[in-house]
């Protein structure tokens, strides 16, 4: 499953333009959930109701989309974010937001109501 996602990300480099928001949310969430399940503490996962990759994707994908409501989506920055992703490694301090390159903080901009910081999730 992981090799398919990395093949898709590599394929983005060959395409011009940007990435549609739905596709970005799916790929971004896949990356986050892989790291969450590989690096997360089992008790925390169970408390959050996340026991599988499917549950994580459903919960985190909806939360990601809702959290960025009111922001402008930048397709080319999304593409750059996905192209910059490396296979997830577990940060020592447990902060999974560190697995995303800085360009990923620029995918949603001009947010209304203070929405829109990946670091502040």
pTM: 0.71
Please report the pLDDT score of residue 65 as a whole number.
81
Instruction: Say if CB 27 and CB 84 are below 8 A apart.
Output: no
Cβ pair 111, 68 in contact under 8 A: yes
Instruction: Decide which of 114 and 72 is more confident.
Output: 72
pLDDT in tens, 7-65: 444 444 445 689 999 999 999 999 888 887 887 666 566 667 777 888 888 888 888 88
Q: Does position 113 have pLDDT exceeding 80, yes or no?
A: no
pLDDT tens sequence across 73-112: 999 999 999 999 887 778 887 777 778 889 998 999 988 7
Q: Residues 21, 73: contact at Cβ < 8 Å?
A: yes
């Amino acid at each position: 499953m992981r090799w398919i996602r990395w093949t898709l990300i590599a394929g983005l480099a060959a395409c011009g333009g940007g990435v549609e928001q739905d596709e970005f949310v799916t790929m971004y969430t896949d990356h986050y959930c892989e790291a969450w399940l590989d690096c997360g503490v089992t008790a925390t996962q169970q408390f959050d109701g996340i026991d599988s990759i499917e549950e994580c994707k459903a919960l985190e994908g909806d939360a990601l989309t809702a959290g960025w409501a009111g922001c402008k989506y930048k397709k080319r920055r999304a593409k750059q974010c996905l192209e910059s992703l490396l296979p997830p490694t577990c940060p020592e301090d447990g902060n999974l937001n560190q697995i995303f390159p800085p360009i990923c903080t620029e995918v949603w901009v001009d947010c209304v109501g203070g929405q829109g910081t990946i670091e502040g999730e």
